[in-house]
Structure formats: C-alpha cells, structure tokens
A and B are shown apart, each in its own frame.
Chain A
Amino acid sequence: MSVRTLTINGQPVSATEEQTILDVAREHGIDIPTLCHFDGLSEHAGCRLCLVEIAGSPKLHAACVTPAAEGIEVTTHSDRVTAYRRQIVELLLAERNHVCSVCVANRNCELQDLAVAMNLHHVRYEPQDPQLALDASHPRFIMDPNRCVLCTRCVRVCDEIEGAHTWDVMARGRRAMIVSDLNQPWGESPSCTGCGKCVRVCPTGALFEKGATTTVRDPDFLTYLKTAREQKLWIR
C-alpha cells in the first residue's frame, strides 16, 4: 500500500490510498464541518459544507469524496468557503421549521452546533415555513419532516447497515421528502424492523423516540457496530 503526503492548511500530513481529505483532516484534529457525512455510511456529498480549496484548482472540492492525493495543498477555512458555509447553514435554517426551544434535539443538534460554531444569530433569508405533517404512526418513533435537512443518513443507514431500505427520498427540489416505503405511514411499513438506527444517526430532531425529552448523540456507533459484526470485537 502506497502512502501519500500532502498539506492541509500548511501542515504536512500523511494518508493512505483509501483516505479522503476529510479522513486525514479529522485524524489530524483539523475540523471540517459536515452534515450529511456519518462514519460508517457511504458518502452523499450533498451538504457541501466540507468544500475545501486545493491550490491550483479553480473548483472547490468536497473533502468527503476527494482522495487525499499526493502533494496537494488543501486549505479548509479560507474566507471564501467560510462565507459559503455560513450561507448554507442559513439556507437550511430558512428552509423548514427549526425552532430550537421546542425541539427534542435542542443542545444535541448538529445543525444547531454548526450555527453556534459560526456565531450565526440571524438568518437573512425568507423563512419558508412549510408546515409539513408529522408522522407519529410508529409505536416507538416519530418523524417530524419540519426538522429534516435531507441529509439522507436515515436512508443510507437503513439500506446499507440494517438492509431494510424502508426510507427513501420522494419528489424533488424543495418538495423532496424522506418517506417510508411507498410513502406509507411509518407505523404501517412492512419493511421497517424497528431497529431505531435511523433515529440514532439523525443530525437534528427530525427522527426521535416517543416520550423522549432529549436525543442521544453517538457518532461512533456505526463504527462500533461494524467492528462488532466484522471482527467480533465489542470495543468502543
């Protein structure tokens, strides 16, 4: 296996052939914000928060899908991308109904964290306020699409890890929605195993447990699950 060296924000780092810029940055404690990425799932490349600059390239590159190639010089927090990230988070906050004070994920929410980290206290865009119907038909869980950011972590974890493929995306653009099976009530889904992995990976309060007053954040839980499955090692 060949090893590569590159620089991130001027710091020399090494990488294996399989590693992405995001992997290497995290390994070296460089924080690139993400929302759709979740350790253990395939990459979606939809949130665009992890866009970084590579010297000599006019385009921005999504760190989650860009290989850490030999010799590249990566800048993760230029003024330009920082401004773009802020706009993206603002767009998300205006898109649906993110009211932290009444949200079960308050203080455990990755969207809220992003806003706080950016010192974002004001949204310049017109709130779309879509008023979407909540699905509480499942005996244990609730889906509130008003808080959904369409990161598709639930879709991917259900398909790739649980193997049930209960969730999918319906319609397009601003009308896009996460639906269970063929847009049936979640509680009537014949494919849902009730495993709750989707709830565990949801970055916001869109998926949560009935009766819960808070959500659990567990970013390593899929890595744990995969190690347990593949190597029979129950280690954290």
Chain B
Amino acid sequence: MTSDDLDTVRARERAAFAAAPCRLAVCTAAGCLSSGAGAVRDALERTAADGADSPGLRIIGTGCLGLCHAGPLLRVFRAGAPDVTYAHATPDLAAAVVRQLPDGRLPDERQLPAMHPFFAHQHPVVLENAGRIDCERIEDYVAAGGYAALQQAMTEMKPDDVIREVVASGLRGRGGAGYPTGLKWSTVAKARGAGKFVVCNADEGDPGAFMDRSVLEGDPHRVIEGMAIAGFAVGAEQGYIYVRGEYPLAVSRLRVAIRQAERMDLLGQRILDTPFSFRIDVRIGAGAFVCGEETALIASIEGKRGAPRPRPPYPASFGLWGRPTLINNVETYANIPPIIRSGGAAYARLGTERSKGTKVFALAGAIVNTGLIEVPMGTSLRQIIFDIGGGIPDGRSFKAAQTGGPSGGCIPASHLDLPVDYEALAGIGSIMGSGGLIVMDDRSCMVDVARFFMEFCRDESCGKCIPCRAGTVQMHTLLMRMTTGVAAERDLTLLEQLADMVTRTSLCGLGQTAANPVVSTLRHFRDEYMAHILEHRCPAGVCRMPRAPERAS
C-alpha cells in the first residue's frame, strides 16, 4: 500500500462515516468491561439485528471514556444532535436506546447531563479518539486522521525535520522524569552504530495508575504510529513494546493493531512503499515494578533478570543488546502524531513555560468522579479535583493528593491552587510521575500512607543494591513502629537519616525516590508523625495501637 492508497482508504472511510448518521459507542476499556460493558454491547447488537435497526447505525467498542466509576458508559452520536452519554448502562437500557433511536426520543434514565463538568473542563489530545473510534478497527483510526503523521514524515520530511518538530513541541517524557523528548531523540539519532532500537515502556507499575493501559486499550494505533515515526527519526528498524503482564487486554488489542498495520504496510518491510522498514514486537513483563526502570526493562527484554545497572552509559548510546536505544513511555509516543500533524509550535502553545502539552491523569481514591482525564499542563489541582473530579464524596474534606506513586509525594490543601507541571510539583516535594493522582480525605493517616508506599518499595526493590534492599526494610520497620504506637523520637531521627542515605546512595530511581513519600509527608504533615510518636495517637483514627504504652492523661 502506498501513501496515495492510504489516502483513498481514508476518504472511503470518511464517506462511510458521513453516511452513518448514528453511532453507538460502548466503552470497552478494562474498567467498563469489568462492570458489564460486554453485555451492553451484546444487547445493542442483538436488538439492532432483531430488526429494530435504523439505517446507518453503527455500534462500536471504543476506548476509555474516562468516567470509570459510572461504567459501563454508552455514548450516542447522532448527526445534527448533541451527544448523549449514559452512565451505568444496562442491557435493557441499551435495547431501549436502539429501539427508540428511529423516533429520535432517547430514554431519559441514566443520562448524564449535557456538558457534564467532568467532560467540559478537559482538553483531549492523547485521548482525542476516545469515543470516536472502534479500538479494534484500523480503518476508524485512519478515518480519524490516524497514520497521516507517519505519511507526512515519510513523504515530506527528513529524520532531522521530524526531530526538529519534536524539539519545538517542548514535549517531555511522560514516564515520570520529564526528560525532554526531542533531546533524547536527537541523541539517539546521533549515536553511531547500526541496529538501533526503539522501545516503548508500557510497564506502568505505579499503584493507582492506569493511563498507559487506557491508551493502549483504546487507541493502540496511536502508540504504534508514534513509535514508527520515532524509528524513522532516529534510524531504527526494530521496536519493542514492553507491556506489563497484568494487562492482557492491552496486549491483545496491541497484537490485533500490529497485525492490521502490517497488513496495510504501515509496519514491516518498506513502509508505504518507501525504503524505510520498521517492525514492532510485543514483550510481556512478569509483574516486577523495577522492570519499568529503563535499564532493568532492557535487561528483561534481553531475557535476563530484570535488574537495573549503573548509568552512564545511557540506553541512548548503549541500550538493548548494546545498541543505541530510544526508550519512551506510552503517552510520550501517543503525543507524537498530533505534534507531527499540526507542528511542534502549535503543540507548544498548550501548557506552561517549561511543561508543554497536556497530561493524562488517573483519578483515584476519595473523589467523586474516579476515572481518566486529560488536561493542559498548568491546570490547578483544585480544577482537577473539584471541577473535573467532582470533589470529595460523603461530605468529607480534602486532605491530600498523592502524585507520582511510590516515587512521589503528598500535596496538602494549602497547595491546591498550584498549576500542575513538572517544576511546580517538584518544588513542593512531589513529582509529576506518570500521572497517577490519588485523592485522600480526612480519614487518611499520612504516616500510614507513607508506610503503605514504603511497603510497596520494600517488596518491589530488586535487591541488587544494599541501600534500597535493606534500607526500605528498616524504614518500613520504623514506620510500623510509629503506626503501632511503639515508636520513640529516636526512631524519627533514624528514619530521616535513612531516607537521606537511601535517596543519595541507591543504584536506580526506585531507591533514589523510595523515601519521597516519607519526606513529603514529613514536610507537610509532621504534626501527625509527632502525634503518633509522642502521644501514641493517630489523629485520623486509622492506626490501631494495641502495643502502645499507656497514655498519660
């Protein structure tokens, strides 16, 4: 297939789209599927097949619509009418929707209000296709403008031009550290040596994070396109996507997508009849958090034990099997097609001075609208949590937001108006991380939260370096002493010393950031620690203290 052939496919699909005045999109991301989206889809299809079909009706399984707690979600698109979204859709409701479509009077029950604030305040770029395309049909992606960026890169641009656009976009890595993507691409492009690789990090191990999973499940071609463009830009012909083993649906959708792309000459030998070839293979992780660290991930792909190694040398010069390797996160690649399509400068208009574009967040915890959102960088936490997230349920009050998972920190209410970008979050002792955002109300104990994350790091430490392996064990023990009421002030000193040592001396990012939850809760909620230690009392009432010495009253 040539670039012109692809244009023909796109035109044909768009015509078919235009001819179908009505689409019923069921969210078929893992969240909605687990609450019964499969049965809803069956009911739609059965009722449509039973003759209640209106001409031009299409039923599609689409990517994550975001409002996960209200799943299964069903969205109705009709030409010339506003979209209607149903929450908690049931098979009966689905059947009623199909039956009533021809008269244009849709059932009222379970309809979300038009312009629901959850959707109104978002700015989808990475998630632009959610709800619009069927995640298992490449033609839908193509019709929505997919693979146009690859076409453009292949036919109108040189690798340098592509890199220049990525640099101009100001895009920074979405995997956590925020390293400038354009700089990384140009480093790999300049690295000497044949047989370069492009790797996509889809290990997503932070507790509470599901951004990458949703992108892979809902719009796998977007990641494939981003990787192919990266391969073209840096001079690699082989790509790997390393997906965590807990994401079987993402893996199967990716495999379907790769096969479809190969069949249309968008992957494989001589892409779009140009001299550029690029293959992608899927590699599946076995459930170790540390395998998200880039050098451990590379070792894992090589078939070795997933343990990190000292950097330098960085993967850009010495990566997979010793070859120059570009490694980026899922969301980073997913940003590439729009950057190439509309130009880096246009992308850079979104966001803040040093953090460009949008960021996808996974909202979890004590928040009304649990789910997936995408907002421009620089949106305040208050907007995210209260306007989009709907605030705190059960009439409770906001206590802290945890960003960055086990490498991140807790942000107290006094910083709710902070514009969220890489520097701002780092400035108050947290990190952007990959986009997990866990909201906590006044029933959460910050010492207990720190203990939870320390337990996670202790269990996920690979064991290679002593500070991380043994330091997390001791920090966890000290936190346990506090939460069970047997700690003394000396334990706090030991904890703070260990936190500093483990941060400074650990081999990889896991250990270097493992103490962040402790340090940030100490910074913002020190009084809670003191209550546990001096008074053997948990102000939030979370920690049971059976071993606590009698309190002097």
- Residues of chain A having any CB pair with chain B under 8 Å: 44-48, 51, 60, 62, 65, 80, 83-84, 87-88, 91-92, 94-95, 124-126, 128, 149-150, 168-169, 171-176
Contact = CB atoms under 8 A, between A and B. Distances in A.
A176 B504 contact: no
A41 to B, nearest CB: 15
Interface in B119-178: none
Given A91-B466, A126-B477, A48 B506 contact: yes
Contact of B465 (A47, A94, A175): A47
B469 A176 contact: yes
Nearest to B309: A45
A80 B504 CA distance: 10
A46 B471 CA distance: 13
A176 B501 CA distance: 21
A125 B502 CA distance: 14
B464 interface: yes
Contacts of B18: none
Given A48-B507, A87-B498, A174 B473 contact: yes
A83 B472 CA distance: 18
| Best-surrounded residue of B462, B470, B498 (most CB of chain A within 10 A) | B470
Interface of B: 288, 290, 305, 307, 309-310, 458-467, 469-474, 477, 494, 497-498, 501, 504-507
Dominant secondary structure of chain B at its interface with chain A: helix
Nearest to A96: B470
Contacts of A150: 463-464, 466, 469
A48 B249 CA distance: 40
Nearest to B477: A126
B307 to A, nearest CB: 8
Contacts of B494: 124-125
B470 A174 contact: yes
19 contacts: A45-B309, A80-B504, A87-B497, A88-B501, A91-B470, A91-B471, A91-B474, A92-B470, A94-B470, A95-B473, A124-B494, A125-B474, A169-B307, A173-B459, A173-B461, A173-B472, A174-B463, A174-B469, A174-B473
A69 to B, nearest CB: 11
A84 B504 contact: yes
A226 B501 CA distance: 37
Given A48-B507, A175-B463, 12 more contacts: A45-B310, A45-B465, A45-B507, A46-B466, A48-B506, A60-B505, A87-B498, A91-B474, A150-B463, A169-B305, A173-B461, A174-B458
B466 A172 contact: no
Contacts of A95: 469-470, 473
Task: Pick the most buried of A46, A65, A87, A173: most chain B CB atoms within 10 A of its CB.
Answer: A173
Contacts of A176: 462-463, 469
B205 to A, nearest CB: 13
A184 to B, nearest CB: 18
Given A128-B473, A172-B288, A88 B467 contact: yes
Nearest to B494: A124
Given A48-B467, A91-B467, A95-B470, A173 B501 contact: no
A171 B471 CA distance: 17
